[in-house]
Amino acid sequence: MSAVADAGGASRPAPAFSPGAVLALVIVGVVAFAGLAVLSAFAPELRTGQDGRGHALSKSAIGFAGAPILMKGLGRQVVVSRVRPHSVADAAVVLTPDETMQARVLKPFAEAGTLLIVLPKWQAARDPIRPGFVRKVGVIPGGPRYSKLLADWSKTTATTVRKGVTQPVLRGVGDSIFAAGTVLPLGKIDGLQTVSGEGWAPALVDEQGRAVLAYSTKHRNVWLLAEPDLLNNQGLKALANARAGAAILDAASAYGELPLIFDVTLNGYERGRGLWRLMLEPPWLAATLIGAMAGVLMGLHALARFGRPRRKGRTIALGARALVDNSAALVRTARKEHELAPAYAALMRALVARAAGGHANEARWLDDLAARRGAAQPSELAAEAEGTKTRDDLLSFARRIYEWRGEMTRERR
C-alpha cells in the first residue's frame, strides 16, 4: 500500500517556479520599470555632452566648454542653457549650429539683445580610444554652404578658408561694433575662415580685409563669427586667441550689461518638459509617491483575502421582511412616502395607549394623558401628519412624533 502511495507521489511534477521566486521577479520588474521611466524623463540632463561635437558642453578640441569658464572667470554672468528661450531680449545668446541645421531653428533667438552665431569649420571624428576626444579629418570646404541656414539675414553667406597656418591680426572697422583703431593680434590659426555675403557688414577683418566677425545690416543685433578657433577649446589654449574671443563675447554682452547664454538646445540637449517629468518634480512628486504607495497597498490587499468569504444570498428573497422591503421600495420609487404619515401617526398613538395601559380608541383619555405629561395633543399631531407634502416633511414629523412617544411613555432612550 505504501509502495503505491510512493509511486503516486513521485509521479507529481514539481512546480516550475516557487511563489517566492515569482514574487521576487515581479518586484524586480516593477523596480526596473520605475527606474527606466525616471531615467527616460531625465535623460537630457543626465547626458554630460561629451560627444566630441561643437557646443558649450563639449570638452573636445572643437567644443566650446572653455568659453563659459573663461567668461565666468572674468566676472560675467554666464548660463549654459538647456531650455528653449521664451524671452531673450535682455540677453546675449551664443549659438553653435552645424551645417545640417535648418533656418527655422534659429528664429526663436532672433529677438535676442545680441545673437552671436559661431560657424563651424572643422571636420572631426570621435577618437575610438579616448572618449570625449576627436581626431581631425579636415576643414569644411568654403563656399555658400550656409546661405540657407542664414537666409533670414542674408541672401548669400559664403565662407573662405585660408590655406596653411598663419598668425593674423584682426582690426576693427569704423562705424561698427569695434572702433577703427581696435587691434586684436591672434595666435597661430590653422586655416583662418572668413565670411562674406550680401547683407553682412564687417566688424573685424584680417590683414587682407576679409571679415572674421560680421553683423547683419538689417538686424544689427545679429553677429556672425566665421572663425570658431577664437572660442573653441583648442583655440583658447593660445593666450592671444583667448583675449580676442573674450573681447568679442564682452562686446556681445554690452560689456557686462547683458548676461551671456550659451545655448545647447540646438545640439540636442534640450531639457524635456513632458507629463512624466512633471509628475516626478515638486510639487507633483508628492502626489506621484502617494499614488504609487496606494497601488502597492492595493496589490498587497489583493494577495490575500481578509475575513470569511461572504455567502451569496438568494436572487429573490423570501419571507415577510422581503415583502416589506419590496413594498417600501415601491413607495420610495413612486415618491409617496409622505402619504404614510397619517398611518404612522395612528400606529404611534396605538403604541402609546398600549404602553400606558389605555385604549387606542379613547381619544379623550390620550388627550388627558398628554395634558398631564405636558406633551402635544394627539389631534395636533394628526393634523400635522395630514399636512406633510414632501419626504423632508415626513422625516421632520417622524422625529417629532418619536420624541412625543418618549414623553408619553417615559421610555428610556
Q: Find, among 54, 36, 33, the residue nearest to 46 by Cα.
A: 36
CA 142 centroid distance within chain: 43
Q: Are 181 and 144 a contacting pair, CB within 8 Å?
A: no
3-state secondary structure (DSSP) of residue 166: strand
Pairing label, strands 114-118, 165-166: unpaired
Q: Which helix (H) or strand (E) holds 27?
A: helix 19-41
| Domain ranges across the chain | 48-267, 320-409
Q: How far apart are CA 100 and CA 237, in angstroms?
A: 28
pLDDT tens-digit map of 238-270: 999 999 999 999 999 998 899 999 999 888 887
Taking residues 321-347, report their average pLDDT: 84
Sign of CA dihedral 71, 76, 82, 88: negative
> Residue 193 pLDDT more than 70?
yes
12 falls in which pLDDT band (50, 70, 90)?
low
Number of Cβ within a 10 Å radius of residue 104: 9
Q: What does the radius of gyration of the chain's CA atoms come to, in whole angstroms?
A: 44
8 falls in which pLDDT band (50, 70, 90)?
very low
1 falls in which pLDDT band (50, 70, 90)?
very low
Q: Are 273 and 137 a contacting pair, CB within 8 Å?
A: no
> Residue 199 pLDDT more than 80?
yes
Question: What is the DSSP code (8-state) at residue 21?
Answer: H
Q: How far apart are CA 200 and CA 138, in angstroms?
A: 27
Reduced DSSP (H G I as helix, E B as strand, rest coil) percent helix, strand, coil of the chain, to 5: 40, 15, 40
Maximum CA extent, the chain: 130
- Alpha helical stretches, state H, 280-319: 284-303
User: Residue type at 195?
Assistant: V
> Residue 23 pLDDT more than 50?
yes
> Residue 317 pLDDT more than 80?
no
Q: Find, among 231, 271, 270, 265, the residue nearest to 248 by Cα.
A: 231
pLDDT tens-digit map of 166-181: 999 999 997 778 888 8
pLDDT tens-digit map of 133-163: 888 888 898 889 899 999 989 888 999 999 9
Angle at CA 26, nearest 5°, toward 22 and 32?
140
- The answer for residues whose C-beta is within 8 angstroms of residue 26's C-beta and 6 or more apart is none
Matching residue, cell 571636420: 123
Q: Which of 7-21, 39-53, 69-83, 398-412 has the weakest average pLDDT?
A: 7-21
- What pLDDT is stored for residue 98 in this prediction? 87
Number of Cβ within a 10 Å radius of residue 39: 10
Domain 48-267 indexed as CATH 3.40.50: yes
Taking residues 187-212, report their average pLDDT: 93
pLDDT tens-digit map of 102-118: 888 898 898 899 999 99
305 falls in which pLDDT band (50, 70, 90)?
low
